[in-house]
Structure formats: C-alpha cells, structure tokens
Amino acid sequence: MIALLVLNVLCIFVCYYVAKSKGSNARYWAIMGAIFGPLALPFVFFAKPKAKLT
C-alpha cells in the first residue's frame, strides 16, 4: 500500500517537472499524475511543447 502511494507521488513530481520543462501547464499535469498515476506519464512525455512567442 505504501509502495503505491510512493509511486503515485513520484508520478506527480515527474509529470510536474516534465510539463514545466516543456512550457505546458505544470499544475494540470501534476493533477493528471495524481489522478491517473503511471498512466499519465506517456501522455506528458509525448505532449507537444508550447510554442514560445518571441
């Protein structure tokens, strides 16, 4: 049970930092990581980065 909780918390952090590095909404992806756990990881990795306006 504790291993599942640790895995879910790890997914939250990974989703947050990957989304933040891509310029996506990090809070949204952290929530998706909390809800879906490991199932959200492929989606955050394959999500397209936001275009930067310069």
Coil, strand, or helix at residue 46?
A: helix
**What are the φ and ψ backbone dihedral angles of 50, each rounded to 5 degrees?**
-70, 145
Quick one: tokens of 37? 């756990």
pTM of the entire structure?
0.85
pLDDT score of 54: 65
pLDDT score of 49: 83
pLDDT 10s digits, 7-54? 999 999 999 999 999 999 999 999 999 999 999 999 999 998 877 666
